[in-house]
Structure 1
Amino acid sequence: MTKTVLVTGASAGIGKATAIYLAQSGYNVYGAARRTEKMQDLVNYGIKPIALDVTKDESVVACVEQIFKEAGSIDVLINNAGFGSYGAIEDVTMQDAKYQLDVNVFGAMRLTQLALPKMRENNYGKVVNISSVGGKIAFPFGGWYHASKFAMEALSDAMRAEVKQFGIDVIVVEPGGTKSEWGDIAVESLMRVSGKTAYARLAAAFRKSFTQMAGNVPGPIVIAKLIKKGIEANKPKTRYVGGYMAKPMLFLRKILSDKMLESVIMSQVK
């Protein structure tokens, strides 16, 4: 029986690549995002676009209800919608900080709450939470973004233990650098928020190192393939890692002390 997948953040980057890859692999795919105009090309792959703002409960409820009505259930939920709000913690407004968590954490968890009852009923389900290497390691200027991804890691681990009894798997995917709009948005945010404050010099150095790295990152299909591997495994791993520098950075996180890791990170921001 064809499995139904909901991919959030399907208008660009990892979300779009994943929606297309899974549709080409025979899944019944719904792609959701705020920018529906950027999803019209997905129709050519048999993907059904849905307008979704994860920060508005009525939008989240309407999205899930539409899929339940048309497909019966969401068998695989891929919580990918997210962005990076960058700037020094001193400079980021509380309004922006809360919005970062609304999109990256609360929106994903609300969707999951709504999808889980049908998964329990069917004794089957896969919840894929797109975290980041930044869910294990915090870099300067990404404090609120990292807070959101650290939170997703914790929520995923708690939920995994809760829902295993119902035949539901919770899978975390930790991308490193991949080609997407994410980097441009993060850098633009950084310079707008901290480009002219007491942190201006360090922000400029961070932007320079970030821009240099951007030329080496692989396309988002790398992560799409990891997601497919995870949802098709009989006993999926708790975490899948891929993308630029992801495995080396997580290895350093394991073997170095906090201060040593911080020194390595800051040595790259010059």
Structure 2
Amino acid sequence: MQSKTVLITGCSSGIGRATAEAFLDADWDVYATARNPADVETLGNRGCTVATLDVTEDDDVERVVDRVLDDHGRIDCLVNNAGYAQFGPIEDVPVDAVHRQFDVNVYGAHRLARAVLPHMRRRREGTIVNISSVAGRLSFPGGGVYAGSKFALEAMTDALRAEVDEYGIDAVLIEPGPVDTGFTERAEKEIEGVERSGAYEDFYDVFADTQAIGGGGPGAVAPERVAEDVLNAASSTKPASRVPVGTLARASVLGRFVPDRLRDQAFSLLDRLT
């Protein structure tokens, strides 16, 4: 029986790396990709097939998808994991930074989905797993650009799920809360490029404590925990449409059902307390 094949983006660290290892341990043929091939070299040593892939480049996407199909003739699962967080108050984030955020987090996933769907439709099976976030269900001050990209990814996945159902294809959203990865280190680098107006210094004071934003601390889950849910979604004949990962994630998504006025008051109180 031919083993199944998965293509995963953003495997240099964190969730992407843990996901590649989880699929490998489950005897899948794993294509682990990253912008810098040196970042996934150790995954290659473990048995993954590694490839250079910048999800913002159409040529990269076409080349890698064609390679998988040439090698195996099938792509059973696509995991759109590549992404990062652009934090900062809406006024302070330059427009070109918003474009970059959406190019990676939204358009990158769209490029990969468009590339693999014709093949999946012909075979009438396959799973697309999009790594979202609780920020895709609940926005927060200083996270509007990042949350906006995840809201968009969630909306696109909801539409996709209905569109491809008749072809036997599943579309799944994985929604982690805080994850114990290097996520906040990248976020700190991105926030250095904002144009600080001087009007939102309270936000920057809170952001200096990265555990207040996420990516570590109490309640954070290990990337292997997220990878487990990704593998389960890819292996299931009837996966859930959404999978919140971790206790904080399951609790946080309930916040979207709180009236806007009360939620805004809660954010205001949190700002005063911090």
Provide TM-score, normalisation by structure 2. 0.93
Where do residues 164-203 of structure 1 align in structure 2 (5 Å cutoff)? Answer: 164-193=165-194, 197-203=198-204
2:40 corresponds to which residue? Answer: 39
- Which stretch of structure 1 is more off in the superposition, 128-137 or 140-149? 140-149
User: Shift of the alpha carbon at 1:56?
Assistant: 1.1
| Preserved contact between residue 134 and residue 177 of structure 2 (Cα < 8 Å) | yes
Q: Per the alignment, in what secondary structure is the counterpart of residue 177 of structure 1?
A: coil
In structure 1, runs of 5+ residues without a counterpart are none
User: Shift of the alpha carbon at 1:242?
Assistant: 0.7
Q: Provide the aligned C-alpha RMSD in A.
A: 1.7
Whether 1:263 aligns to 2:270 is no
Where do residues 202-241 of structure 1 align in structure 2 (5 Å cutoff)? Answer: 202-208=203-209, 210-211=211-212, 214-216=216-218, 217-241=220-244
2:238 alignment partner AA: K
2:145 corresponds to which residue? Answer: 144
2:102 corresponds to which residue? Answer: 101
User: Shift of the alpha carbon at 1:259?
Assistant: 2.1
1:181-230 residue CA offsets vs partner (Å, 9 max, x unmatched): 21222133335526673212222123326358522222101100111121
Pair 190,140 (structure 1): closer, same or farther in 2 beyond 3 Å: farther
Indicate which of 223, 246, 249 corresponds to 2:249: 246
1:205-263 residue CA offsets vs partner (Å, 9 max, x unmatched): 23326358522222101100111121222211100011361111112323x11122233
- For 1:131 and 1:95, locate their aligned partners in 2 and report how far apart those are by CA, in whole Å: 22
Whether 1:16 aligns to 2:17 is yes
Count of residues paired in the alignment: 269
- Which stretch of structure 1 is more off in the superposition, 59-68 or 206-215? 206-215
| Preserved contact between residue 179 and residue 218 of structure 1 (Cα < 8 Å) | yes
In structure 2, runs of 5+ residues without a counterpart are none
**Percent identity over paired residues:** 37
2:3 corresponds to which residue? Answer: 2
Q: Per the alignment, in what secondary structure is the counterpart of residue 245 of structure 1?
A: helix
- For 1:222 and 1:16, locate their aligned partners in 2 and report how far apart those are by CA, in whole Å: 12
